[in-house]
Chain A
């Protein structure tokens, strides 16, 4: 308990932690403010304006078509005829149905539709912060020799490292829960002011809550992986280096190689697909090199659906492997 208290104090005493959390808050605030100002409330007035806009556009386009038709007729037999279709009747006037007024509405923030993306944004940002703060929390301890001092005080290696990890995860649980609550509240207010909170049934709220829980899991796995890698390499740089390496190798190198090798469903080997699958419950990847022929739809690309249980298995697997490896090496290594 005393160790846990001390570690929590250490975590939040660190300037790195404070700076990164502050940075995350700044980015989130910027996102919220941006959303606030780029959306507006729509009422009868805006609908009328949008309808008028749609109508005006329709009329402009109809006039243009008439003009084009005239030019087309005039050009017949002249060298310019090549610029026009042989049959000028092909230039048909625009039809009303292509001028849906909704497309002329100003952007508006509909909570039910738009919040899931915001929840993903929050989770991704907090996951990044957790990874970096987790890596630095234990990495700096290793590289500065603080870990050795601590072990002289509490010569129970697994307990010391485990408590540190627990501290990190519990702290980020609190941070994520509080941040999610505030984030949801902020976007509820934004929706009230600059959009709508219509059709927010309790089922929708529930699915938001579950999504935020999945976000929490993502944050915790990221934190634990950053922590574990830094502890394995005994340096913050190790975790950051591994990530940057992973990003480069995975996102670019592997992508290119697999593409060249004509491997199916390249994206399934890349991280973002899995994060999307986890947060949005599933993601569908299409393979444009293939063709599932059907008489109804013609050639359809083959599809692969990554579901959240698959993503859960992957996240869980990475979590278990990295933390176990960190604990295992901690148990036996010489600390010099």
Chain B
């Protein structure tokens, strides 16, 4: 019996293979047969890129089928509707979703602040909330701009937390230094700016040197320098073996620092996997090809089309729409002595993938309301 009491359904392949999504619109047929392995993986999924890690790292965080319905006098609201999430050790994991999609609810549930209506969760292999008292020492968390008692200084606030959690006081000085509050540590929290409070929150999460760090919108209110510092801080932490779960709306940031992402929409996971696979699964899947000047582009295009490629011709280059393995382009052309001078994958950025997956792209002439998502696949049509 493995230590993990929770069974989270895993795909039968390493998790950094391409994202599986609910969006069905992006299945490209791989027109050129690559190696046999990729054929095998292809079953049921979109284009495959990247080399899979063969060994499965242990999951630090597993959530399966999480349900949460808020009840109030005004009625009920289903915030989580069978949400799944897996975070492997040592990752920086991005947790993305539009406003009101259930990110904070997930994190609060995970940390025992609210009771779920169903589903299972495990941190470091231990089922929570049952084993939360044991795991809490290993988890540092901030949940949605945490507030602190305004009349205490940052130093007092942290040293009280340190006392409550049996952490050495000297660690307080270290984390204050780490988040850049060393010289303001004795000021009352009430007098802090938004970003300074956010830094204090991060400091409080780092205080106990956690194995898993959960940060709900840590960049909220940070200045550009602060964001960059936060980025390198997180990279360093991940390198030192810490696992970081990061919820944010700054997708450029996520794309820069995250190994994997989970995208949530309306309380369900709509995509997950490494950033590149999510992008690949939903990106254009296109490759831009430029030939040597003076070469007959038409012949090349016809040749590729004959092999099943979807080619769009532009003025001085063309793009291949379903290039699973761009090497095949060069091979086919090279066989006819046509040489490629530029071969660039046309990548979608995380933002457009996010908007597509969550159906929250702005539509001209409409004011999109929160909780309003275009029906899957229906966006933009």
Contact = CB atoms under 8 A, between A and B. Distances in A.
Interface string B160-179: 11011110000000000000
B164 A334 contact: no
Interface string A151-173: 11111100000000000000000
A100 B163 CA distance: 67
Interface string B107-120: 01001111100000
A334 B161 contact: no
Contacts of B340: none
A335 B133 CA distance: 17
Contacts of B160: 6, 9-10, 13
A5 interface: yes
Contact of A148 (B139, B143, B208): B143
Interface size of A as a range:
20 to 34
B338 interface: no
A106 to B, nearest CB: 49
Contacts of A152: 111, 113, 136, 139, 141, 143
Contact of B114 (A14, A145, A154, A334): A334
Contacts of A9: 160, 163
Nearest to A6: B163
Contact of B133 (A2, A13, A156, A332): A156
A156 B361 CA distance: 42
B13 interface: no
A141 B149 contact: yes
A248 interface: no
Given A144-B149, A149-B146, A334-B70, A2 B163 contact: yes
Contacts of A10: 160
A336 B133 CA distance: 19
Given A15-B151, A145-B147, A150 B161 contact: yes
A149 B113 CA distance: 10
B163 A5 contact: yes
Interface in A313-336: 332, 334-336
Task: Tell me the interface secondary structure of chain A in the complex.
Answer: helix
B150 A2 contact: no
Interface residues of B, number: 30
Contacts, number: 77
B129 A149 contact: no
Given A6-B160, A144-B149, A153 B136 contact: yes
A148 B163 contact: no
A145 B204 CA distance: 13
A5 B143 CA distance: 26
Task: Tell me the interface secondary structure of chain B in the complex.
Answer: loop
Contacts of A335: 108, 113-114
Nearest to A149: B146
- Of B70, B129, B141, B164, chain A has the most CB atoms within 10 Å of the CB of B164
Interface in B287-317: none
Nearest to A141: B149
B154 to A, nearest CB: 13
A17 to B, nearest CB: 11
A2 B208 CA distance: 15
A23 interface: no
B156 interface: yes
Contacts of A148: 113, 143, 146
Contacts of B146: 145, 148-149
A16 to B, nearest CB: 8
25 contacts: A2-B166, A7-B164, A13-B156, A141-B149, A144-B149, A145-B148, A146-B147, A148-B143, A150-B164, A152-B111, A152-B143, A153-B161, A153-B164, A153-B165, A154-B165, A155-B112, A155-B132, A155-B133, A155-B136, A156-B133, A334-B70, A334-B115, A335-B113, A336-B108, A336-B113
What are the 10 A-B residue pairs with the smallest beta carbon separation, nearest first?
A: A145-B147, A6-B163, A334-B114, A6-B164, A335-B113, A155-B132, A155-B112, A144-B149, A153-B165, A146-B149
